């Protein structure tokens, strides 16, 4: 079964400083990666999806995938206090019916 | 755009009680999902359905039943609530196998 781990568990950054979140997965045949954000008491909001090695940018969010090293990163450029939330990494494979495996999340706090 | 509506937002039940959570989507999506989110853990898939009247077990299906009587709705039943059941239950939907997944805001279950 796929194992997805995220680090760090929590991260505090100053407003405007780059935030980098890490996600590792166990199955090298995975090919569908998503980063979600969840504000307290709210549903999940997809930030960026990536399907092949390299980078994918969506606004201030950049995902970086390296399947050989089993890592997918999320970089948040110039985060604002409103970006304080739980960030979840989700990993799936094209074979089988889209069962995404989620990490436990990184709790990000952006201080003014 | 569409929306996923989960009811109720908060559910309090007694240990041993049978409890039902409901989910409606107006995206006209074929696939619907139920995930459980525990504090400090990632999301785990309970059940999913790829079309009306279809049910597929996820990794966490024991102790739950699900029902997809029509395309727009997907219900989850906790067959006998336990105190360790306390969690947020998230409903989601997507067009098909590997397209974007949209989430509801969740039902928070408390068992007393």
Residue A92 dihedral angles phi and psi, to the nearest 5°: -145, 170
The top-scoring range by mean pLDDT among A48-62, B35-49, B81-95 is A48-62
| Average pLDDT over every residue of B43-68 | 93
Best residue in B2, B29, B33, B42 for a mutation probing chain A (most A CBs within 10 Å): B42
**Residues whose CB is less than 8 angstroms from the CB of residue B36 and which lie 6 or more positions away in sequence, other chains included:** B43, B44, B46, B60, B87, B88, B89, B90
Query: Token digits for A96?
Result: 């089988």
Tally of CB atoms within 10 A around B11: 17
What is the arithmetic mean of pLDDT over A38-50?
Answer: 90
**What's the mean per-residue pLDDT of chain B?**
92
Angle at A26 between CA A63 and CA A20, to 5 degrees: 30
Q: Average pLDDT, stretch B60-88? A: 93
Query: Which token pair is B13?
Result: 């039940």
Inform me whether the C-beta atom of residue B44 falls under 8 Å from chain A C-beta atoms: yes
Q: Encoding tokens for residue A34?
A: 């998503």
DSSP 8-state code for residue B9: S
Six token digits for residue A81: 């206090």
Interface test with B, best of A100, A101, A103, A106 (most B CBs within 10 A): A100
Question: What are the b/e assignments for A20-49, b being 16+ CB within 10 Å?
Answer: ebbbbbebeebbbbbbbbbeeeebbebbbb
**What's the whole-number average pLDDT of chain A?**
92
What's the pLDDT band for B55 if we cut at 50, 70, 90? Answer: very high
> Strands A10-14, A106-111: parallel, antiparallel or unpaired by DSSP?
parallel
Instruction: For residue B111, give both structure tokens.
Output: 């068992």
SS3 A83: helix
> Could you tell me how many CB contacts below 8 A there are between chain A and chain B?
55
Q: Closest chain A residue to B56 measured between Cα atoms?
A: A97
Burial class (CB in 10 A: 0-12, 13-18, 19+), A14: exposed
Residue A89 — very low, low, confident or very high, per pLDDT cuts 50/70/90? very high
- pLDDT the model gives residue A41: 81
Report whether pLDDT(A96) > 60: no
* Locus of tokens 């139920």: B34
Contacts of A59 (CB under 8 A, 6+ apart): none
Nearest to A50 by CA among A27, A29, A31: A31
């Amino acid at each position: 079964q796929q194992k997805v781990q995220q680090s760090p568990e929590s991260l505090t950054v100053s407003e405007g400083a780059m935030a980098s979140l890490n996600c590792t997965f166990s199955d090298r045949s995975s090919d569908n990666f998503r980063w979600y954000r969840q504000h307290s008491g709210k549903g999940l909001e997809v930030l960026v999806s990536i399907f092949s090695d390299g980078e994918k940018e969506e606004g201030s969010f950049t995902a970086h995938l390296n399947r050989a090293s089993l890592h997918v990163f999320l970089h948040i450029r110039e985060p604002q206090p409103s970006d304080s939330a739980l960030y979840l990494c989700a990993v799936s494979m094209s074979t089988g019916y889209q069962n995404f495996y989620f990490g436990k999340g990184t709790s990000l706090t952006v201080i003014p | 755009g569409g929306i996923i509506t989960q009811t109720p937002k908060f559910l309090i039940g007694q240990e041993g009680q049978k409890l039902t959570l409901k989910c409606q989507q107006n995206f006209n999506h074929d696939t619907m999902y139920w995930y459980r989110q525990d504090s400090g853990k990632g999301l785990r898939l309970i059940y999913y359905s790829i079309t009306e009247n279809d049910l597929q077990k996820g990794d966490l299906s024991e102790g739950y039943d699900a029902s997809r009587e029509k395309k727009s709705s997907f219900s989850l039943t906790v067959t006998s609530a336990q105190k360790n059941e306390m969690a947020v239950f998230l409903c989601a939907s997507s067009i098909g196998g590997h397209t974007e997944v949209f989430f509801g805001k969740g039902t928070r279950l408390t068992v007393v």
